[in-house]
Structure 1
Amino acid sequence: MKYKKTVCAAAVALMSHAAWADSYLQQSLSEWPTMQSAVQQNGVSLYGAVDMGLNFQSVGGNARWQTQSGGVHTSQFGVFGREDLGGGLKAEFNLENSFTANNGAFGTSNTLFDRAAWVGLNSARWGALRFGLQPTANLPQFIDPFGEVTTNSVVTWLAGGAVQTARGVGYNADLGPGSSQVLVRESNAVSWTTPRVMGFGATFMYAFTNQAGVSPNASNQGVVASWTNGTLYLAGAYNRVWSPEVQTAAGLQTVRNDIYGVSAIYDVGSYVLSAAFSQVAPKLEGNGIARSYLLGATVPWGRHAVRASVVYRDTSGVHDAAGDPAKDSALGVMLGYDYSLSKRTSLYARAGFIRNYGISTVILNSNPLPLQTGSASPELGTTPMTASVGIYHLF
């Protein structure tokens, strides 16, 4: 499975709020490739990022060195366009691709634009309406000091519930059949983002399954609402996510997952603090519930910045392979350092781990856990670790 993040509508809200003129997040987001294109007034522009580094991974006595693309920013290129239609109305589109810089391969096989492929209308009075592949209505990625990147982020893997099983890796797979998570982005989606009034704003999304004979007709229904006064940023999200058909005691069926989240960011420029809580609750008798707690901090000075995040994931109502109630929790820590060579080029270092307790089998940075002897099931109680150094350039 692949876990990727992109800038959400909340980032645009922060960028447009004048009180953020002295904030670290406002300055940082203004340098992101997606944001550099999104703030333009008219025309078409190409943007992107190339991120490469060296990575060390270790789990269960197995260790390896490898090249790694996307240690801070997913290596990507995109095209953003905007046309002024008059009367405050603008047409917009965005096409965005991810790739691995170490070999040039597509981030998603046989898919040219796997990060964004949408077209829409934007009005200062009525908000923004978009159709196509786009970010979901969920908590903003910048609650994680590491931006919930595919690689060096325990938020991506632990809070996302990337659990290894005998059948592979699945979102919150330890909770039972049909358990899922809010995807980073949704295909076949329609969204509306309201104008921001007195600091308040919201995004509503409906994503179609586009599959005949499948009920319900939606794969995701979500809303995220936020408020900011410049220093403080608060957000809350609620999503209904339906799984593909899975085998249950009642036969083949889709499973609805109710996913809640709240977050807060406090940014005074000289430091940024963040906190978040989320819960995944599959609506199937016998399934468990997962809760995740996040604390994050970033301290910048001059060309330097240090970052840290701590994530704890706990569950209730889960069972082991024998069907007995079991402990299932994990703790993740990630530390980082950045040195800016310019506004567009930086060096970075990252190091972190996830400590699995009980029957927890969360992975980190796509590194599979060792298997139990003579079994396809992963070992329990493992601690995957990672460390990276690299460089990225934004254009």
Structure 2
Amino acid sequence: MKYKKTVCAAAVALFSHAAWADSYLQQLLSQWPSMQSAIQQNGISLYGAVDMGLNFQSVSGNSRWQTQSGGVHTSQFGLFGREDLGGGLKAEFNLENGFMANNGTFGTSNTLFDRAAWVGLNSATWGVVRLGLQPTATLPQFIDPFGEVMTNSVVTWLAGGAVQTPKGVGYNADLGPGSSQVLVRENNAATWTTPRIMGFGATFLYAFNGQAGVSPNASNQGVVASWTNGKLYVSGAYNRVWSSEVETASGVQTVRNDIYGVSAIYDVGSYMLSAAFQQVAPKLEGNGIARSYVIGATVPWGRNAVRASVVYRDTSGVRDAEGEPAKDSALGVMLGYDYSLSKRTSLYARAGFIRNYGISTVILNNNPLPVQTGTTTPELGTTPLTASVGIYHLF
């Protein structure tokens, strides 16, 4: 289950890594007040979003209505600071909190800054170095027209591999013990982002696991490289992600997951198209492999914008509860409409579903699947769906 990336960090990456001249993405990101102040100048900027909607969810005849925070933007507030040190060198920091607008609680229990907490140096010559909680070196969230938000996005849940098992929901849990996914952000991380030269740039990440006696020292080693000519943005990422210690046939150990991905965004302002492929391959004998395919489109005109995404997740080497080879795939579709009341305030509507095939048990919008009678095993062949209408305001 991915969390939406820090907006300021993502915006900085796009504005520094790509010349999105007259692009839809640049227009979208420029609506954030933080992009008009501290990101570009000295000083400190307070920024954020408040997003609330009315949501309907249904799966296998079980339905519910609820208010829901974060239908388009994770409700959040943050501080971004920058100081010009001279000679093309700047000091920067970012602190960001996610919260639930429907009840005011923290997005992560007992954690004030759960979305960003880093400090770094930004050099026009040598690039950007950051230390702390920050986005990972992976494919850009904007390949998903819905921004990989934790609610109304099939990319978040399906490409992220949010699989329900008798033990709960886990990343790619159907692949076997220790299977994981690239988190959207990492604690204890150090990154270096290169300057962009002739359209090329890259970010390298090393995240420490912070646990004494657990080998290796890393929880994630990743790199994402990209190229842009202003309209076309292509990227490729490779991450090694280590699980927490799990019980395997060889005893208790961490499991390395090799995760590969490629993506492309074509943005001409009047429309934006995107596509991506990702493969998750746990390095443990007997585990399966998951592949996801994503396509998306956004068409804005005037105050309006329509969005659509389709995701297909397929696996190989997966076995059922009896240890027999099994079919395990799912298809997801999400549709959306936005109407801008101003540059900072918009109304929105979202609707989508995930169709599970074989033994697939992927959930949607954090709505658990019903379980088989007398067990904790989720039902098979389910189709969770979600629909929302709401409003957000940026500040």
Task: Return 5+ residue gaps in structure 1 as ranges.
Answer: none
Q: How does 1:273-284 map to 2 (within 5 A)?
A: 273-284=273-284
Cα distance in structure 1, aligned partners of 2:19 and 2:140: 19
Q: TM-score, normalised to structure 1's length?
A: 0.98
Cα distance in structure 2, aligned partners of 1:13 and 1:70: 23
Q: How does 1:278-357 map to 2 (within 5 A)?
A: 278-357=278-357
For 1:41, the equivalent position in structure 2 comes to 41
Structure 1 residues 18 and 312: CA distance shift in structure 2, 3 A: closer
Which deviates more, 15-24 or 313-322? Answer: 15-24
Cα distance in structure 2, aligned partners of 1:148 and 1:33: 21
Aligned residues: 395
Give the CA deviation at 1:2.
Answer: 6.4
Q: How does 1:1-150 map to 2 (within 5 A)?
A: 3-7=3-7, 11-16=11-16, 19-32=19-32, 35-36=35-36, 39-150=39-150
Give the CA deviation at 1:210.
Answer: 1.1
For 2:223, the equivalent position in structure 1 comes to 223
Cα distance in structure 2, aligned partners of 1:18 and 1:235: 12
Structure 1 residues 37 and 115: CA distance shift in structure 2, 3 A: farther
Structure 1 residues 270-304: Cα deviation after superposition (integer angstroms, max 9, x where no partner) = 11000000000000000000000000000000000
Structure 1 residues 232 and 129: CA distance shift in structure 2, 3 A: same
Structure 1 residues 55-102: Cα deviation after superposition (integer angstroms, max 9, x where no partner) = 000001100000000000000000011111111111100000000000
For 1:257, the equivalent position in structure 2 comes to 257
Which deviates more, 42-51 or 4-13? Answer: 4-13
Q: What SS does structure 2 have at the residue aligned with 1:14?
A: helix
Q: What SS does structure 2 have at the residue aligned with 1:226?
A: strand
Task: Return 5+ residue gaps in structure 2 as ranges.
Answer: none
Structure 1 residues 282 and 8: CA distance shift in structure 2, 3 A: farther
Structure 1 residues 2-44: Cα deviation after superposition (integer angstroms, max 9, x where no partner) = 6333338664343246842211111112224664566231101
For 1:380, the equivalent position in structure 2 comes to 380
Which deviates more, 79-88 or 6-15? Answer: 6-15
User: Residue 129 of structure 2 aligns to which amino acid in structure 1?
Assistant: L
For 2:365, the equivalent position in structure 1 comes to 365
Contact kept, 8 Å, 2:38 with 2:44, in 1: the verdict is no
Structure 1 residues 95 and 261: CA distance shift in structure 2, 3 A: same
For 1:233, the equivalent position in structure 2 comes to 233
Cα distance in structure 2, aligned partners of 1:10 and 1:125: 20
Structure 1 residues 38 and 247: CA distance shift in structure 2, 3 A: farther
User: Residue 151 of structure 2 aligns to which amino acid in structure 1?
Assistant: T
Q: What SS does structure 1 have at the residue aligned with 2:21?
A: helix
Cα distance in structure 1, aligned partners of 2:68 and 2:197: 42
Cα distance in structure 2, aligned partners of 1:54 and 1:199: 42
Contact kept, 8 Å, 1:133 with 1:187, in 2: the verdict is yes
User: Residue 175 of structure 1 aligns to which amino acid in structure 2?
Assistant: L
Give the CA deviation at 1:209.
Answer: 0.8
Contact kept, 8 Å, 1:203 with 1:225, in 2: the verdict is yes
Compute the RMSD of aligned alpha carbons: 1.3
Structure 1 residues 239 and 18: CA distance shift in structure 2, 3 A: closer
Give the CA deviation at 1:355.
Answer: 0.1
Cα distance in structure 1, aligned partners of 2:53 and 2:148: 17
Cα distance in structure 2, aligned partners of 1:17 and 1:240: 24
Contact kept, 8 Å, 1:79 with 1:96, in 2: the verdict is yes
User: Residue 23 of structure 1 aligns to which amino acid in structure 2?
Assistant: S
Give the CA deviation at 1:45.
Answer: 1.1
